[in-house]
Structure 1
Amino acid sequence: MNRCARSVGSLLALLALAVLLVGLPWALVHFVGWPLPDHVPTWEEVEATLLDPMSNEFVINVLVVVCWIAWFRFALGVLQSVFDLVQDITWSPDRVHGPIRSAAATLVAAVLLTLVTNRALAAGSVAVTDVPTSQPQAVVATVRVMPGSVLPSDRSVVDRAASAPHGHVRVVEEVRLPHNGIYDSMWRIAERVYGPGGGARWPELFELNRGVEQADGRSLVDPDHVRPGWKIAAYIPETQAESPQQVPPPAGVVPPTETPVPAEIVPESDGGWVEPGIDLMTGVYISTGAAGVISGVLVASQMRRRRRYRIGSGERSDLERPRAPVVVALREAHRVEPNGKREERELVDLEPRAESPRVPAPLGVRRGREFVLNLASVHGLGLIGAGAAAAVRALLLHLLTTQSSAGNLRVLVPAEDLRSVFGRNDVQDMPNAVEVVASLDTALDQMETAILTRARRVLDEQETNAAVVLIASPAAHAHRRVQAVLDNGSVLGLAGILLGQWSAGATVAVQANGTVSASSQALRDKLAGIRLFTLPAPDASDLIAVLREAESDQAVPETAGVEGEHELSTSVTVTQRSRLTIKVFGRFRLSFDTVGAEARELSELLTPKQREVLVYLALHPEGVRREALNEAVWPDSRPPRPYNSFHNTLSVLRRVLSDATNGSMANVVVNALGRYQLSHEFVTVDLWQFRQTLERARAADTDRKIQLQGAVDLYEGDLAEDLSTPWIEPFREAARRDALDAYGALIHLHGKASPETVLELLERARMLDQYNEGIYRDIMRTQAQLGQYTAVPRTLALLTSVLREIDELPSPDSGDLAELLQRRGNAPVLAS
């Protein structure tokens, strides 16, 4: 029997040896391949590899190289042992044969120990994966326990007398003795306290009990070391406290000293504590504040539509647009709390400096409080893991709802990264605060410019600029540049959210449910027990669309009145208060209109640059970014003070208009959500009226003749014809073509029924575009229809004269038409 056992043992050892000698190298070659570079790396490649964050491929290759070295040493040790056996040398345990023999002996001992241990395990055991370390995803220990070894939670104590957050009670759980070789852990305690699946909340449990003195005089300082008999306190919803698992303590057991609730989460006497997060159980988890902003935006948009509704118009298109399910669900979930209710917030700033602007970003919820992180102080927040993209989407939404509403946010996102985060291609229509750029390099160019500009403004003690946040993947070629921008810009309101590992700042590993599984040293103590806000891609698109729609809706000028009296109602609205009227068709004109007084002309008070700024803003009723306006009006402005002329011109313009209107028009140019625009409350522009009239003419339920006639009447000449600057030419031509299209549609509506009106409209269209040959041919046809055959040759002569100015001649079609019409009227043909 002993001989048989020894034979089996020898065969197992031989098999293990063969696996190590042959199986290991085969597996390395088959599954990994050659781990070293296929060419001699250049110094730049070596530098990039050493300085950039380690990729998964790099780590695997390093491990494979180490495995090959270990295997080679082990093989040499085996060969040396075989050589000794052949020479009949006794291998004594006390004999030392150097490091090679030690390595081989160690590996063989490890294999044999594993085999022996596995033989001792019961065949019917089950596997349990436990995560007892401070980084649950990094270290996973697999153990086997006998069925039924998990004891029921019969030692939990519910203490209703202790203070606790609103709607919660305090529970005390005892650390248990080892059972079947399995020690208790924070993970198991969390599962007993919070129920099945609650083990992932062990960081929250650890934070609540960190440093609390236990009965033996020691305290919990390491989540990996909990001692039997220690009391671990937690807070659970009061409804869960009725569970039969929480029973009174056994006789003779004295609960430990109360662990006081941290002062920041103790509810006020009026019950003012509010749950800071809304969980829709669909992957949507956002702050109560963000949900409140969404609800407020919807209510405000609804009020604007009610104000603009024209009684009798029958307009119902805005009511036919259904709201996305996530929007409806958030409105239902959000409740406006009565006075005194408030949300608990915790602001974390890694570099608290009074003079440094903060970029607060609601990140998640911890211990019943909203966790807000100053992004600028982190020098770049990297997000990795299954929930990274969802966390980035939630971060973007919270930045837009908390920062952009005050006009102090600008987000730069490369187009490729935006598509990656949202998982779709049609994400370009973002709110005004989000600027989609071509690439990471383009975004860095703008951020470097912002650093130079803001540094100068700090020296000049000027006002603080809006926060600039970069959302991008940290490309290897731009690693140093990104680091320099975030380091230098941290004190100037610049921050970064990186889609990947970011060793230069901080990196957070996020699970799919928003739980933080690991984080770098800078945030390790700060993020323990936090659940990040998350948003699925479709829901994020729907919520951001609400914000974008509200911006567009807000930019539409308000109108009101009864259908059929719309023009009258609009004029009454204009004359009921003081307004500035800007006319950009023809020569630029600016007038101040007040009730009961004659309009005063203010154009002569303005400098050419001030007029140019007003024209540019009139062409962009929804607003324009400072960079675009500055580049158009002052194309030669360069660092270090590229916006000096812009701010000086704007300041003087506001002062001039305020003085000329006795202070009533001080806010003509406003900064809304980071975009400069003319105030729709105080300013009327003929170009806006022209565009609105054309829009009404396109509607099927309007009198198109009246609307089109109103549009062509507003067009008094080329757009700002006294302004000679290159940037206006595309706008000028577009407006001219809009007017020509309106004339064409109006002529078509009149048709043959009113040739006199058609001829008048054609003459006006000819004055608008005197080189358009088609207009002259239509004039000749209409003249013939009216019997004015003698006027046909004069029209042809006029066309010939005009075209000679540009060295052209009329086409044969025009000559043939004139000849045909003359013959029809028996009139002589006028030679060209």
Structure 2
Amino acid sequence: MRTFRLLAAAVILLAITVVPPMALWHVRSAYLPDRVPSATEAVAWLTGEDNGQLFLLLLVAAGLIAWLQLVVAIVLELLARLSGTAVPRLPGFGWAQRIAAALLLVVLTGTAAEAAEPTGDDAQPTHVVAPGDSLTKIAAGELGSSARYREVFDLNRGIPQPDGRSLQNPGLLRPGWILRLPQDSDCEEVVVRPGQTLSQIASEELGDAGRYREIFDLNRGRPQLAGRVLDDPDSIRPGDVLRIPRPAKPAGGGGAATATFVRASVTCQTPEPPPPAPPSQPAKPPSPPPSVPPPAQSGHSSNSAASPADADDGSSVTVVSVGGVLAVGLLTLLAARRRRAHHRRRPGHRIRHKQPGRLEKDLRAAACPGTVDDLDRALRTLARHAGADLPRLRAVKIGTDGITLRLAEARSPIAPFVQTRPAEWQLDPAADLDGEHVPPPYPALVSLGHTADRDLVLINLHEAGVLALGGDRDAAESVVLAMAWDLAAAPWAARTQLTLVGTGKTSAERHPDRLRFAPGWDEALEPSQGCPQVLLSAIPLTDDVARRLPPSGYDAVVTALDNDLSLPDAWHLDATGQSTAVKILGEDVELQRLSPVQVSELVDALADADEPDQVQADEYRNVPLEETGVPEAVHVPEPAVSVDRRPVATSVPSLQLLGPVRLHGADPEAVEGKKLNRLTELAAYLALHPGVTADDISRQLGTDTQPWSAATRQGYISRLRTWLGRDENGELYVPNVDARHGGYRMSGSFTADWHQFRDLARRGLAERDHGVSDLQQALDLVRGTPFNGVPPGRYVWSSWHQREMIDAIVDVAHTLADAYQKAGDLPAARRAAMRGLLAEPVSEILYRDLLRIEYRAGNLAAVRQTADKLAALAESLDVELDQETSALVSTLLAVRPS
């Protein structure tokens, strides 16, 4: 069938482009004279009575012009589809381009249609890639979790696509590709064929032509293959990919007309962005903050902006001046610093971070963690197999063809790579990457920039020796800063010491363990020993310094260069223009840059993470501070059995957020299985944001760029309202919106463990007589880390709530541990600390409580075991322990309890 389609497509194109001129030439005697007329004969022919030959000639001329327009339109449409760019619209060619689009839809998507059409009950669901799509967005929208992007990648890696290419890298996609999806989807999308309208599709798919509006609302603003978005119900075109609310057979159970679209099973959800950094937290935490939209996935930088066409390769090229490696590294660094700040929080206080700036939002749009991880593991696996025979690596290219190595010399490939050219290896998609514990073999590998095809290029500075940046000084400085931070954050350069000359002083002060600043060359030419050394200078190289470089001890040097200095053995790049020729690649590269303004924003974000504001939380003013000095030892008998005072479950709908998210008291069989998680998230959002507006729901449970449509939002709210039903007083758990309610909310009879926790904690901290009992009841509600078990990509609005819940749980657990110790009930104190650690496994406040508890019990072995466990947890999570914790361990182990 596939061969027949291709043959038919070739015949159609051949007939359109070749047959008309051949036919006209064959019958030319009917409208052309036998010889070239003279001027007198031509004038007489035009002014005399027409015998029909002149009219026929004019008709043939018009036909030739129309044929030429159609051929041009077909060529433009074909080139645009193969390159993944938008089709240029030519004045006067509208009719021809519409016909060409329809023809090529049949020709180029004939095999795609065959792949996407269901062949039985177990047909493979698919997704047609649109401009701006990435695997994480597709996984979030179609499978409900951006974390499942790897499943989509593994399912499609190496499979030929309609344009002849194949998916080799998770961050690089092409519009028009047909991606297979795992067999767990419950919705459909259609590819519009010529002549279709939304009403016809609604009638044939949903059984009701009047439901065309639902389809339009679900697809409003969604990018299409031609590079435009759907903004009018009457503007659909052949080739548009539309989602439909749910599969439905034509009314009447048969007799429907032959399908005029391609069907592919997907999930009717809009994509969600990766979780943003925690937003600023107010000083008064009892009320949830106003709904703040997640950071938009901006495609701009200080240097240039990405067009829609630029963005068709995936998220790793959304920001032109910053590559995916640098983006992932900087975001990881920021997250680690913020996590460390929360571990050093004082009891009863809250950490208040500033809102993420423009740079951080751009980094999130450019990051592609899977690609960075693949490259790191691939190079370590290569080192494991090569041993001492490690190849000389010049450059790495990450693009549509996967991960490609450019070597300094031709040689036989080493696993996990295969040879594509004499000095070029490509990562084998099926290879087992098993170099986890091998040191990185190329610690001076740094991102250089992007090619015209949006492939990311990295170069090995060790192989270059000296990389000279000619041209404008400011332009060279931005390249130097980008390389410095790229190396400072890349996983394979973790042991590389970097020296910045003449620039980056604030960067070095904020990241001193990796960056060193030198004001001039004299101070720079004294590197430390014992690890790889790279020098990066914004000060141009001089003859004197050039003579001193070889014995200086640096493995590589990146430096600005004056035009009058000759370095014949160096690699030279012109930093002035947007792109520069790279000889080792044989193509131009758009250099990666970080301007001083962007670096200043990055340094400010790191400073805010390192030294955040700690504000007293009003509701937790009575949380005791940690005791100082050596705790007084007490001895009490251990109970045989500890009592777990958990609240009794009820049949009333209630929401569990203090641990794995669950919705109890509602029959899970009463809703579609694929909608259960989404409805639970909607219930959680309404419970934590009473009075929220319809727009807030659409934006927070969708995305800023692709919010929920009105039809999608109303459909989920209606399902949730029907599912939960009414309370014992006949009131809806999800009330209808009216003037009294003033927005969407859950009813007062709907309960959530977080609300119960806050009420008990507030009362327990305010009342001395019954405080311990109330606090213990609050702590008994905790079953794990809040919002645990939700798929990444869901609950992106919950970061502030999760942080507040964790801090509150730690405060309550610490208060109870302190009260029980003062009362001499060490087992109860131990249980309180351990319950709090369910929510925050690396809480140093609670671990210090445990250390004091075990010391008071006279159990020095348990003190040591507790300290070792905390150290191991901190190492596994890449968290640095506070000096106060280390000092307490040393003190307790040095003084034996009396």
TM-score range (shorter-chain normalised) is 0.3 to 0.5
Q: Which structure is higher in RCO with an 8 Å CA cutoff and minimum separation 6?
A: 2
Larger radius of gyration: 1
TM-score, structure 2 normalization: 0.31
